[in-house]
Structure 1
Amino acid sequence: MNLERSLNQPIVLAVDDNLDNLVLLEFQLASVSDCAVVTATTGEAALHMAEHNQPDLILLDILLPDISGIEVAQRLKQSPATANIPIVALTALARTEDRDRILNSGCIDCLTKPYDLDDLQTVVTHHLSLSCSPL
């Protein structure tokens, strides 16, 4: 399913295997930015949604049931169709070495759960302004 993109509305792909977290994230995104949100609950679904919807930003949980978010990020960055989509990790992993692995996988930023709504707004607004700015 492809999402119809309006001229000024960016698309954000939100990926989380916890449905409560995903619904909360959708609600938060609606309150902090004017974007269309598509969702996925597995790594494989995230790869498919990213390729077919070409989102302007991906918010990616790292602990997914099928393949890790780190592998998802690596595979997205290896594909010419999705390599330029910015990925922000949303994770409960808080150790420095975890953050380093996440950023080395291709994610451009990382928010540790539970994250602050103001931090989410700042990160989403910043990365959408970069990815949606005219060339």
Structure 2
Amino acid sequence: MNSSKFSEQPIVLAVDDSIDNLTLMECQLEAVTSCAVVTATTGQAALQLAQHQLPDLILLDILLPDLSGIEVARQLRQFALTAKIPIVALTALARDEDRDRILSAGCNDYLSKPYDLDDLFEVVTRHLPQHSLL
């Protein structure tokens, strides 16, 4: 895990192909938590950032233009450095079979779009309990 666990603010990697969604998520997280947010708009960029930044949490859109979020999660689980990072899927895919497929790919949690700020904050605090987020 990231060295920020005990000494610095937690790092959240937010992945979404919509710049508007990323900007909103980044503003929301930085406004109500002490998290540092790094962003990616593609699956490949997410994989690279995850390996270099070693974030404490990944918020991952499932419908990405290159690799699906499901493939990104599967690949992250294969690397020792990223295998234990919590991944929360953020997606409009809301059917039970979608949720099951997302969780079986390695995501720890699931947040349906559109979500509200309270839901986002709750999922972040649930997966970063060792950090003081306020």
Residues in 2 aligned to 1:87 and 1:32: alpha-carbon distance in whole angstroms? 20
Q: What is aligned with 2:51?
A: 51
What are the within-5 Å matches in structure 2 for residues 53-92 of structure 1?
53-92=53-92
Q: What is the Cα deviation at residue 7 of structure 1?
A: 1.9
Q: What is the Cα deviation at residue 33 of structure 1?
A: 1.2
| Range with bigger deviation, 49-58 or 113-122 | 113-122
1:15-54 C-alpha deviation (Å, 9 max, x unpaired): 0000000000101111221111100000000000000000
Residues in 1 aligned to 2:8 and 2:19: alpha-carbon distance in whole angstroms? 28
Residue 95 (structure 1) aligned with residue 92 (structure 2) = no
Q: What is the Cα deviation at residue 65 of structure 1?
A: 0.1
Q: What is the Cα deviation at residue 117 of structure 1?
A: 1.0
1:33 touches 1:125 (CA, 8 Å); kept in 2?
no
Residues in 2 aligned to 1:126 and 1:104: alpha-carbon distance in whole angstroms? 19
Give the letter for the 1:72 counterpart.
Answer: V
RMSD: 1.7
Give the letter for the 2:61 counterpart.
Answer: D
Aligned residues: 129
Q: What is aligned with 1:123?
A: 123
Q: Secondary structure at the match of 1:98?
A: helix
Q: What is the Cα deviation at residue 8 of structure 1?
A: 3.0
Q: What is aligned with 1:31?
A: 31
Give the letter for the 2:98 counterpart.
Answer: D
Residues in 2 aligned to 1:29 and 1:103: alpha-carbon distance in whole angstroms? 23
Q: What is the Cα deviation at residue 126 of structure 1?
A: 1.3
Give the letter for the 1:87 counterpart.
Answer: I
- Identity value in percent: 69
The ranges of structure 1 where at least 4 consecutive aligned residues each deviate by more than 2 angstroms after the TM superposition are none
In structure 2, list runs of 5 or more residues that go unmatched: none
Give the letter for the 2:69 counterpart.
Answer: G
Residues in 2 aligned to 1:95 and 1:59: alpha-carbon distance in whole angstroms? 19
**TM-score (norm: length of structure 1):** 0.91
Of structures 1 and 2, the one scoring higher in RCO (CA 8 A, sep 6+) is 2
